[in-house]
Amino acid sequence: MKQALRVAFGFLILWASVLHAEVRIVIDSGVDSGRPIGVVPFQWAGPGAAPEDIGGIVAADLRNSGKFNPLDRARPATAAG
């Protein structure tokens, strides 16, 4: 009985190793640049200076997504419409 369990367990281990799948993610194309977007500065209503530059964090997150290219803050914005 013990021998049969060992053999069955051995086959189970071999079967599990055969079923092991390899995942490959191949990125062969992409976008050269993101869509231009303006990020307005956030206003701090608390006491003292803002603890973080929220506008900078949002701009960095958008840039790192690869879909957007935040405009320079010094660049003047034009009104839509």
Q: Would you state the pLDDT for residue 7?
A: 92
The per-residue DSSP string of 28-81 comes to ----SSPEEE--PPPPP-SSSS-SS-HHHHHHHHHHHHTSEEEPPTTSPP----
Question: What does the alpha-carbon distance between residue 32 and residue 69 come to, in Å, rounded to a whole number?
Answer: 11
Instruction: Convert the pLDDT of each residue in 27-79 to its tens digit.
Output: 887 767 789 999 988 888 989 988 899 899 999 999 999 899 999 877 766 65
pTM over 0.85: no
